[in-house]
A and B are shown apart, each in its own frame.
Chain A
Amino acid sequence: MSAEVKSVNNHILPHGELDGFIRKLSKKMKVVAPVAKEAGNFAFQEVSGASEIALKYVPTVLPPKKYFMPQREKMLDFDLTGAQPSDKAVIDAPELAVFGAHTCDLAGIQCLNMVFSERPRDYNYLLRKEKIFLIGMECNDYCDENASCALVNSHMPSGGYDLFFTDLGDRFMVHVNTQKAEEIVEEMGLAKASPADLAALDKVRERKRSVFRNEIGVDPRKLPEAFAKGEKSKVWEDLGARCVSCGNCTNVCPTCYCFDMADNVDLNMKTGSRNRTWDSCQFETFASVAGGENFREARSERQRHRYYRKFKYPLDKFYRFFCTGCGRCTRTCMARINLKETLKGLAKETV
């Protein structure tokens, strides 16, 4: 592809103009971006200018899935005052721009998109997704040693965004991927990228290829075999012995989407709502039934299940891993359960 053709969708935003960009964007819609918090943590939250944003950050505590699939989401309002109960479907899906999502998190949203657009479709999710303007941010280097994005090939951009920023030192390369993004870039008056800019981008990518290397030393093409053979592996017993079933790993996972439904009655005891909340397969009662049976009673079974939901089942159904290599589960685990070590251990035992 010639540089000229490629530049059609590539624009330039000098570092000094990022603040203006965010300010203008925040006049149009709410803008959220990674912000530094205590103890080296980061979180997506509302911003109004570039100075609030952490441009280099270790993946946020919660991934941007919290905007696509809120931790608590009202689905229905009901009213019990009449002769018979009445209800109304509700959705609160405001226009929103998510700025600075890493490629691992973009991949996570792509996974969720697959799940919720599979029939029967989940329109609550899809409507919310439609309202979110997604701006990605490339990682030129590893965030920390817990990431395994090269293993699952999510360290490079592969769609799933409206705009995508790559830091070229004193300016950002801005890739425009959608019509909506095109309009915004036009309105902001971003300059087209020059052949020199594109060469600089190539250089960043070239360098990345040598920096980002398979983090576990096991060919990802071997993982399906490892999981096919590894149902009874001792790694699950080891994980089960350490896991405290807190559910942190699934909460912070960009591709975990299991949920529970619950009714809440208002204090007046007349009105209330049905709500969808995040749930975790790591909780003891997740797979139990009212009759008393628990289909995943042991912690080892539940941990094993989590890994199979990332590396086995979605491969058959959606032809991809549902691990994006963000490293969050490892960072958050109180029992120091480490995804990279688990995969290495499983592979060593099985393939």
Chain B
Amino acid sequence: MTEEIKNSNWRLRKGKIIAAKQMTAAEKWFDIRLEDGSLDHEPGQFVQVELYGVGEAPISVCSSPTKRGSFELTVRAAGRMTNAMHKLDVGDYLGIRGPFGRPFPVKVMAGSDLLFVAGGLGIAPLRSLINYVIDNRKDYGKVDILLGCRTPSDMLFGSEIGAWQKRLDVNFLCTVDRGAPDWRGNVGLITTLIPGVTIQPERTFAVVVGPPVMYKFVIAELLKKNVPERQIVLSLERHMKCGMGKCGHCQIDHPKNYYCCKDGPTFTYDEVKASKKL
């Protein structure tokens, strides 16, 4: 059985950083190429990133699988491991496990209108889906993207967002909690953008990713617009330590005994509304 040990889900694949960029004061972006082939992920999945000697952290893949050859991560320096990861640069190696988790339901959503709602770093996992949808644009109906962040300087993927803004086949809106002297856009919480968006609720999937505190308010707005509960898709945050539904850390307090790493991280609202916390 030692072959099984070698090839188990604990096996680390070597990932080489082929590009890196400090995006904001707190977030750094990495482009990673696996030495032994492709990651073969789906939008919304995550990987376990191992920094030898420091430890491991679960990170959402922020690039679409339509981008081949490498995958991207956007990492906020929040804990010990992610702070150490910020010190890495092009040419450095990481250990990668995964991809793990249930992806966004891209096939179920095909043919429907999409309303993306991203708060803060939530844009990172959502970007894997947004770019997937843009690359398969004809498979989807109307696409609205709403983005909220704290201040203009916290905005991630600036140049890409500029490109989304210019596209005629997606409607992009963003807002900041607090403006800046040169900011001419919306100021206010992400929830303020929702009433102004015109949607046909029965044929719309709303995909919402953001910090836990955001969900309650955004979901309330979406329900006001009559978006069905099973067409509200969330990506929940937990600390997945194994990725295999065993270590216990990411279990969601829900009668159905969900493990965020295996049964999620993406869930529809009707699946998880009985949870104590989203």
Contacts and interface: CB of A to CB of B under 8 A. Distances in A.
B55 interface: yes
Given A122-B244, A260-B247, A313-B257, A290 B239 contact: yes
Interface string B1-38: 11011101111101010000000000000000000000
Given A258-B247, A291-B237, A75 B10 contact: yes
B57 interface: yes
**Majority DSSP secondary structure for residues of A touching B:** mixed
B248 A258 contact: yes
Contact of A295 (B54, B55, B238, B241): B238
A291 B211 contact: yes
Interface string A286-319: 1111110101100001000100010011001100
A257 interface: yes
Contacts of B11: 89
Contact of B247 (A279, A289, A313): A279
Contacts of B9: 120
B78 interface: yes
A289 B253 contact: no
A2 B52 CA distance: 62
A115 B251 CA distance: 14
B95 A289 contact: no
Interface string A75-99: 1101010001101010100000000
A115 B5 contact: no
B237 A289 contact: yes
Interface string B247-261: 111011101110000
Interface residues of A, number: 49
B93 A317 contact: no
Interface stretch (A54-62, A123-131, A207-215, A335-343): A123-131
A67 interface: no
Given A75-B10, A287-B238, A287-B239, A123 B1 contact: yes
A296 B253 CA distance: 9
Contacts of B53: 78, 80, 263, 265, 272
A316 B239 CA distance: 24
A261 B84 CA distance: 17
Contact of B246 (A87, A116, A290, A316): A116
B79 interface: yes
A326 to B, nearest CB: 20
Contacts of B276: 295, 301
A85 B78 contact: no
B5 A124 contact: yes
A259 interface: yes
B55 A263 contact: yes
B56 interface: yes
A78 B93 CA distance: 13
B5 A261 contact: no
A265 B54 CA distance: 8
A296 B6 CA distance: 35
Contacts of A261: 55-56, 241-242, 247
A124 B10 contact: yes
Contact of A127 (B1, B244, B246): B1
Interface string A116-150: 10101111101100100000000000000000000
Interface string B47-88: 000111111110000000000000000001011001000000
Contact of B249 (A75, A115, A286, A301): A286
Contacts of A246: none
B14 to A, nearest CB: 6
Most buried by A among B12, B93, B248, B252: B248
Closest 3 A-B residue pairs measured CB to CB? A258-B248, A290-B78, A313-B257
11 contacts: A80-B53, A123-B1, A259-B242, A263-B51, A263-B53, A263-B55, A279-B248, A290-B57, A295-B238, A295-B252, A305-B253
Given A290-B78, A290-B79, A290-B239, 10 more contacts: A76-B10, A89-B6, A120-B245, A126-B1, A258-B247, A259-B248, A263-B54, A274-B10, A291-B237, A293-B213
